[in-house]
Chains A and B, each alone.
Chain A
Amino acid sequence: RVSRPEQQVRGAGASPARRRRSMAARYDRAITVFSPDGHLFQVEYAQEAVKKGSTAVGIRGLDIVVLGVERKSVAKLQEERTVRKICALDDHVCMAFAGLTADARIIINRARVECQSHKLTVEDPVTVEYITRYIASLKQRYTQSNGRRPFGISALIVGFDDDGSPRLYQTDPSGTYHSWKANVIGRNAKTVREFLEKNYTEEAIATDKEAIKLAIRALLEVVQSGGKNIELAIIRRNQPLQIFSAKDIESQVAEIEKEKEDSEKKKKKSI
């Protein structure tokens, strides 16, 4: 049965995968089959699965790395604590994911074991790039085995290396990974990435506080009902992962809104 990617509600134009449907239909059954024009459709469909997860944004500051996620609304009887998008992989590395929850759990468990295994073997904590490469290789292996489907998640991995430099990496279902200054994955990623391209400046990340505000502002572009649907985590150099409380996030959001009001008032005055 041919799977169909989830569509955003828009006026015109179907996603490219949908237009290629007739050809895709013959080449997307088995993961190991290339299509005549060189596509691995299962991998591309896995990327569509990522778009069904809620937004996650990562910002690399000078002395801080920030992860912000859109908290998914839970059913009334569900415990909120069990829906976590930001997870620590080690004391100095953490990641946020978007996509299939169950796949993320498997990857996080394997990555955590690898972090400790590395520490025991070479007596050094992993570098962020090492663990990212491990996760990416794991994902790639599943795009080349028969009978197995790719992992349907993208991950943002942040942390500090031993030499003190902050890192932000992003992996996707195909098993590629890249280093980023700021990136976003999940639903509405395009909108938020455009915001970040405009607003990620030297001043915007000059201090820790500014970097945190940038992450929240980026999320507010797409998160409905503001601060109570945002979860934020930071790592400062030589400090463990710190998850913000709802109160702290609300106060940040209030500050941001006040700044916005003030700048609009200034604009009106100058006109």
Chain B
Amino acid sequence: MATFFGEVVAAPSRAGGDDDEEAAAEREETPEDREIRRELEEKREVHILWSSKLSASTGSFTDEQFPCSKFILAIGHNAVAFLSSFVLNSGCWEAIGSVKLWNEWCRTSNTTSVLPTDAFCLFYKLISDPTVLLCQCNCYVAEDQQFQWLEKVFGCMREEDLQVTILSTCPVTDYKTPESTLTLPSPFLKALKTKEFKESICCPLLEQPNIVQGLPAAVMSYCQVWQIPAVLYQCYTDVIKLDTVTIEAFKPVLSSKNLKSLVKDMSKSTEILKKLVTTNEIHNNIYT
């Protein structure tokens, strides 16, 4: 390689190492390295703790799969707040499990009683129809943990007649469009569905070249591979905190077939929404 000054410098080749080099690298890993890697993997393992009530009510053992006809998953604090105020309070839901995981961004606890400001991932079951499962995921699931999360969550469900609905948010700055982002009516909903999903969707489909990332993408990929009908409603918003306008942008989803039957009583939703947002705001001292 010649530099600007005309001297010739030996540069490392990008052609790829030959076998000798790779074997040498392998030999360099000591038992200590392996031990550290094992410990790290253990620390990053995803555990799902089902409460004992689950087996009692469905009549099956926790080791076996339980039947599930609807799985509703909310990812991110705005989607979680939406389900809390519009779905969880208008019906009788029972907390049946939680996810315990650790990564550099968050640590979830292993109890089902959590504050709205904690990081958590909880599962709820509808008492009147135990095949309806709802998951509130307010924690960050790292890339290397997503596969485990999927395997463990979907591994517990019997996937016949399963329909999956996912709600999540994404910053509007990630939305790629030929129009100027200043003219976008954010927040707005876009949908993505798997091949098997035949129901009508309540908002426009997500256009190319936009992509979905993170846990919502992992769940959609899993559902596509295993031919489970699934739909993702992604809300593009310009506010990163918990925000009532973003939460209310999810409202069209309530008219979808999966959620319509679950929402009977919306009278208290405004109150609960206000309470959730103000709980978050108490620690905000900017305004007096």
Inter-chain CA distance A75–B280, complex, in Å, is: 11
Q: Are A97 and B239 in contact (CB-based, < 8 A)? A: no
Q: Which 9 A-B pairs have the closest CB atoms?
A: A25-B182, A52-B287, A101-B288, A53-B287, A7-B245, A9-B270, A9-B244, A22-B183, A75-B283
**A9/B273 in contact, CB under 8 A:** yes
Those of A108-148 within 8 Å (CB) of chain B:
none
A26 within 8 A of partner (CB):
yes
Q: Is the CB of B182 within 8 A of A2?
A: yes
Can you name 23 A-B pairs with beta carbons within 8 Å?
A2-B182, A7-B244, A9-B273, A9-B274, A21-B185, A22-B182, A22-B183, A25-B183, A26-B182, A49-B287, A54-B288, A72-B282, A72-B288, A73-B282, A74-B282, A75-B282, A83-B285, A85-B288, A98-B288, A99-B288, A100-B286, A102-B286, A104-B288
Bound-state Cα–Cα, A4 to B246, Å = 11
Residues of B close to A25: CB separation below 8 A? 182-183
Q: A2-B238, A4-B239, A7-B244 are in contact. Are A100 and B287 (CB under 8 A)?
A: yes
In the complex, the answer to whether A101 meets B285 with C-beta atoms within 8 Å is yes
**Across-interface contacts of A100 in B (CB, < 8 A):** 286-287
Tell me the bound Cα distance from A52 to B182 in angstroms: 25
Q: Bin the interface of chain A by size.
A: 20 to 34
**Using Cβ atoms and an 8 Å threshold, which residues of chain B touch A9?**
244, 248, 270, 273-274
Measured CB to CB, the closest approach of chain A to B108, in angstroms, equals: 22
Question: Which residues of chain B from 233 to 288 have a CB within 8 Å of any chain A CB?
Answer: 238-239, 244-245, 248, 270, 273-274, 282-283, 285-288
Q: How far is the CA of A10 from the CA of B288 in the complex (A)?
A: 23
B183 proximity list for chain A (CB < 8 A): 22, 25
| Given A9-B270, A9-B273, A53:B288 Cβ within 8 A | yes
Instruction: Provide the bound-state CA to CA distance between A22 and B181, in Å.
Output: 10
Q: Is A1 an interface residue (CB 8 A)?
A: yes
Closest chain-A Cβ to B54's Cβ sits at a distance in Å of 34
B158-214, CB < 8 A from A: 182-183, 185
Compute how far the CA of A96 lies from the CA of B199 in the bound complex, rounded to whole angstroms: 56
Contacts of A53 in B (CB 8 A): 287-288
Contacts of B239 in A (CB 8 A): 4
Q: A4-B238, A85-B288, A97-B288 are in contact. List 19 more A-B contacts (CB 8 A).
A: A2-B238, A4-B239, A9-B248, A9-B270, A9-B274, A21-B185, A22-B182, A53-B287, A53-B288, A54-B287, A72-B282, A72-B288, A73-B282, A75-B283, A100-B286, A101-B285, A101-B286, A101-B288, A102-B286
Using an 8 Å CB-CB cutoff, how does the interface string of A197-238 with B read, 1 for contact, 0 for none?
000000000000000000000000000000000000000000
A47 and B182 CA atoms in complex are apart in Å by 22
Q: How far is the CB of A75 from the nearest CB of chain B, in Å?
A: 5
A222 to B28, CA, bound (A): 70
* Most-contacted residue by chain B among A9, A21, A53, A102 (CB, 10 A): A9
B47-73 interface mask toward A, CB cutoff 8 Å, 1 = contact, 0 = none?
000000000000000000000000000
A1-B184 Cα distance, complex, nearest whole Å? 13
Q: Hey, which chain A residues are within 8 Å of B285, CB to CB?
A: 83, 101
Which of chain A's residues has its CB closest to B274's CB?
Answer: A9
| Chain A contacts for B244, CB-based, 8 A | 7, 9
Q: In the complex, A265→B182 CA distance in Å?
A: 58
Contact partners of B283 in chain A: CB under 8 A: 75
**Contact status B287-A4, CB under 8 Å:** no
Contacts of A52 in B (CB 8 A): 287
How far is A66 from B35 in the complex, measured between Cα atoms in Å?
A: 71
Residues of chain A contacted by B245 (CB below 8 angstroms) = 4, 7
Tell me the complex Cα distance, A104–B285, Å: 13
Cβ-closest chain A residue relative to B288: A101
Taking CB atoms, residues of chain B closer than 8 Å to A22 are 182-183
Q: Which of A44-89 contact B (CB under 8 A)?
A: 49, 52-54, 72-75, 83, 85
Interchain CA distance A97-B285 in the complex, whole Å: 14
The minimal Cβ–Cβ distance linking B187 to chain A, given in whole angstroms, is 9
Give the complex CA separation of A7 and B249 in angstroms. Answer: 13
Alpha-carbon distance A36/B240, docked complex (angstroms): 30
Q: Which residue of A lies closest to B270 (CB)?
A: A9
CB A266 to nearest CB in B, in angstroms, measures 32
Q: Which residues does chain B contribute within 8 Å of A99, judged by CB atoms?
A: 287-288
Contact residues in A for B274 (Cβ distance below 8 Å)? 9
- Chain A residues contacting B273 (CB-CB under 8 Å) are 9
Q: How far is the CB of A162 from chain B (nearest CB, A)?
A: 31
- In Å, the complex CA distance between A110 and B257 comes to 60
Residue of A nearest to B279 (CB): A73
Q: Which residues on B sit within 8 Å (CB–CB) of A104? A: 288
Chain B residues whose C-beta falls within 8 Å of the C-beta of A83 in the assembled complex: 285, 288
Q: Which residues of B contact A101 (CB under 8 A)?
A: 285-288
What's the minimum C-beta distance from A235 to chain B, rounded to whole angstroms? 21
C-alpha gap A172/B182 in the complex (Å)? 29
Task: Please indicate which of the listed interface residues A4, A21, A102 has the most CB atoms of chain B within 10 Å of its own CB.
Answer: A4
A22 to B182, CA, bound (A): 7
The interface residues of chain A lying within 8 Å CB-to-CB of B185 are: 21
